[in-house]
Amino acid sequence: MKHLTTFILILFFPLFSSGQDDYFVIDNVINIMNVLDNGDLINGRICQVKTGREIIEYTPYEVSEYGFKNGQVYVSKEIQLADSAKRVFLERLHNGETSLYYYRGKGQKTFFIEKDSSLFVELPKKTPANEHYSERLLSLTRDCQNVADASKLVAYNKKPLAKFIARYNACELKPFPHFKYGIVAGFGFSKLVPSYKTHEESKYMTIIRDSEFDYFDYEYDSKFSVGVFIDNPILASDFSIHTELLFSQYKNSYSYTSEVKR
């Protein structure tokens, strides 16, 4: 019976481990319970756990990590807020050799980058010294030149920055999806190709017959076109929505002369 129990545990362990439930960690002990998702602002301050009808609140000093079924994870970290250090919950957007975190406080949204567990720095949109986040990204990722151009294109949002850090960890040389807009211009040729029915097939064709269309002086006309385009990535993926507004003016004039016998 002992061998049978061991076999069942081994057989079903991958099924349990492949799924994910709400959880929180206290003193390196994982607790599987119903964790409440209260949005970025509250999630950054407290971890709320529901047990029956009771809701228990934990601070970042008590819980080291908590997460939800959808894969969203918050980690307790000490950061600098104003003139003092404070422990808060940071949302982990990407976990790897270099990890990315996001924090939202009252009137504040910022990111943090952790490299090799030895470097933990804030990535504000702009520093007090007027350094743009793209400049700091370029400096932090200078050991991989494959993402140098991408650091100048990435938007200051969760998904684009998480995608950038993932590309950096893999050191991929690949076009980075970013918002684009601009002007388009074109030059083309057109020629009228008539589509008509015979005299017998259409009651509207009473004067001009099939053979008489051959006498028109059809020529190619040149035309300019100008417009604008917008290319917007879909959720920081490799797919985008491309929209164009194009203006072209067409004017065609053809004629032929025939003699009418009386």
For 62-97, how does the pLDDT look when each residue is reduced to its tens digit (9 = 90+)?
Answer: 999 999 999 999 999 999 987 889 999 999 999 999
Q: Which amino acid is at 87?
A: R
Which residue, 63, 59, 105, 56, is CA-closest to 80?
105
Q: Which two tokens stand for residue 176?
A: 């980075």
Side chain identity at 102, as an amino acid letter? Y
Tokens of 201: 């097939």
> How many other CB atoms are found less than 10 A from the CB of residue 91?
19
Is residue 42 classed as helix, strand or coil in its secondary structure?
Answer: helix
51 burial type by CB count under 10 A (0-12 exposed, 13-18 middle, 19+ buried): exposed
Q: What is the pLDDT of residues 114-159, one digit of tens each?
A: 998 789 999 999 988 889 999 999 999 999 999 998 888 899 999 9
